[in-house]
């Protein structure tokens, strides 16, 4: 099996040198084990955190360890009664072409006609769930709320805006880093207003886009975007703090927002969250999201990079904005 391991810890932006591709001989299957050919692997921003030694909500990768993370594949050999050959499975073995382990470490998922299995890594997977619980359970979005989403053209953000519209937001504003992306936000994902944060400081653009303020902020970016949102949040406004991608590759911490006093003035409710603490809503989410997708109410993009050899490049370029919707790496069709 070909696998990609962490070779050294990056300072600032990761590069190819921080990774090493190795070949591993897989032993014959033991009783109860299955062998899975990966179809798609996921590259996600949180993996950057795991490359550092600092403790976070997921333990750091060890140097010399294979990069783990979400992946979807097909069982090609089985010595378990629980999973038969041909089953489509979701698992966490990450950046490798073939995964082999006891059947219990793989979750069988149904094949959906007309839909690529990579959707289980994006809109129908943890990414979609993050958007759903962040909006409904963390920010407690209400009908008629004005919602602002940063990182709006990414995997989580593209889901947040559409879910907000489906749940009756009065206005949904999104920000992203290119004209192509802001066009997609309005034309495809149903955003009412899209701001390109590279055109002018987001702090200048947001008040013009939200003359009556915002009620909910879904934060994927942190930094300047968080500060901009704090400026315009209405009384009793709420924010779901999902991520801070503008900070992940910094070598020095950014200064905090200069408008923290607004928390008091506006009685704001800010809540950070990690999707794994909200798994109790996975069933509800699966049901609603699959229905929305079947009914054509949710649209999605994937940026697909081909080949395990390009996984590191896919990972780094995702953090630089190369993706619209979910970035995935195709291992095999």
Per CB under 6 A, 317 contacts ligand NDP? no
- As measured in angstroms, the least distance from the Cβ of 218 to ligand NDP is 9
Among 6, 124, 318, 331, binds ligand NDP (CB under 6 A): 318
Region near ligand NDP per CB under 6 A, out of 26-34, 66-74, 110-118, 176-184: 176-184
Q: How far apart are the first and last CA of the chain?
A: 17
Window 41-70: residues binding ligand NDP (CB under 6 A): 44-46
Per CB under 6 A, 200 contacts ligand NDP? no
Nearest to 38 by CA among 6, 68, 62, 58: 68
Identify the DSSP state of 136.
Answer: I
Region near ligand NDP per CB under 6 A, out of 6-14, 15-23, 66-74, 171-179: 171-179
In the three-class reduction of DSSP (H, G, I as helix; E, B as strand; rest coil), residue 174 is classed as strand
Return the number of the residue (69 or 243) whose C-beta is nearest ligand NDP: 243
In the three-class reduction of DSSP (H, G, I as helix; E, B as strand; rest coil), residue 124 is classed as coil
- As measured in angstroms, the least distance from the Cβ of 148 to ligand NDP is 13
Helix (H) or strand (E) holding 4: strand 2-6
Per CB under 6 A, 185 contacts ligand NDP? no
Instruction: Name the token pair of 315.
Output: 């990972």
Nearest to 68 by CA among 104, 43, 100, 103: 43
Contact 195, 205 (CB under 8 A): yes
Burial 289-305 (b: 16+ CB within 10 A, else e): bbebbeeeebbbbbbbb
Region near ligand NDP per CB under 6 A, out of 13-21, 161-169, 172-180, 306-314: 172-180
Q: How would you list the strands of the sheet with 193-196, edge to edge?
A: 193-196, 171-176, 146-149, 214-219, 233-241, 269-272
Return the number of the residue (168 or 201) whose C-beta is nearest ligand NDP: 201
Per CB under 6 A, 128 contacts ligand NDP? no
Q: Sort strands 302-306 and 2-6 into parallel, antiparallel or unpaired.
A: unpaired
Region near ligand NDP per CB under 6 A, out of 2-10, 90-98, 99-107, 244-252: 244-252
- As measured in angstroms, the least distance from the Cβ of 76 to ligand NDP is 28
CA gap 281, 300 in Å, rounded: 21
Contact 12, 104 (CB under 8 A): no
Window 275-294: residues binding ligand NDP (CB under 6 A): 275
Per CB under 6 A, 273 contacts ligand NDP? yes
Return the number of the residue (43 or 331) whose C-beta is nearest ligand NDP: 43
Task: Give the interface with ligand NDP as residue ranges (CB under 6 A).
Answer: 44-46, 127, 130, 151, 153-157, 176-178, 181, 197, 220-221, 242-246, 273-275, 318-319, 321, 323
């Amino acid at each position: 099996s070909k696998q990609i391991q962490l070779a050294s810890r990056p300072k600032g932006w990761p590069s190819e040198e921080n990774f090493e591709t190795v070949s591993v001989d897989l032993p014959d299957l033991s009783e109860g084990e299955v062998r899975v050919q990966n179809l798609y692997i996921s590259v996600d921003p949180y993996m950057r955190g795991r490359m550092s030694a600092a403790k976070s909500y997921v333990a750091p990768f060890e140097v010399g360890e294979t990069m783990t993370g979400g992946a979807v594949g097909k069982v090609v050999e089985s010595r378990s009664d629980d999973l038969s050959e041909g089953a489509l499975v979701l698992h966490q073995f990450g950046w490798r072409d073939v995964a082999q382990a006891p059947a219990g470490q793989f979750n069988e998922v149904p094949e959906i006609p007309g839909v690529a299995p990579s959707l289980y890594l994006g809109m129908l997977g943890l990414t979609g769930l993050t958007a759903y619980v962040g909006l409904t359970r963390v920010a407690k979005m209400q009908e008629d709320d004005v919602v602002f989403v940063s990182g709006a053209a990414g995997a989580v953000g593209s889901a947040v805006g559409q879910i907000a519209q489906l749940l009756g937001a009065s206005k949904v504003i999104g920000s992203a880093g290119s004209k192509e992306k802001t066009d997609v936000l309005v034309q495809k994902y149903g955003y009412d207003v899209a701001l390109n944060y590279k055109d002018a400081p987001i702090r200048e653009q947001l008040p013009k886009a939200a003359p009556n303020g915002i009620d909910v902020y879904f934060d994927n970016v942190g930094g300047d975007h968080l500060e901009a949102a704090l400026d315009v949040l209405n009384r009793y406004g709420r924010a779901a703090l999902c991520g801070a991608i503008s900070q992940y590759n910094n070598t020095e911490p950014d200064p905090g927002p200069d408008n923290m006093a607004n928390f008091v003035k506006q009685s704001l409710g800010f809540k950070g969250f990690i999707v794994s603490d909200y798994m109790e809503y996975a069933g509800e989410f699966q049901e609603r999201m699959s229905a929305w997708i079947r009914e054509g109410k949710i649209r999605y993009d994937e940026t697909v990079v081909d080949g395990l050899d390009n996984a590191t490049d896919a990972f780094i370029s995702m953090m630089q904005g190369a993706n619209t919707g979910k970035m995935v790496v195709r291992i095999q069709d």
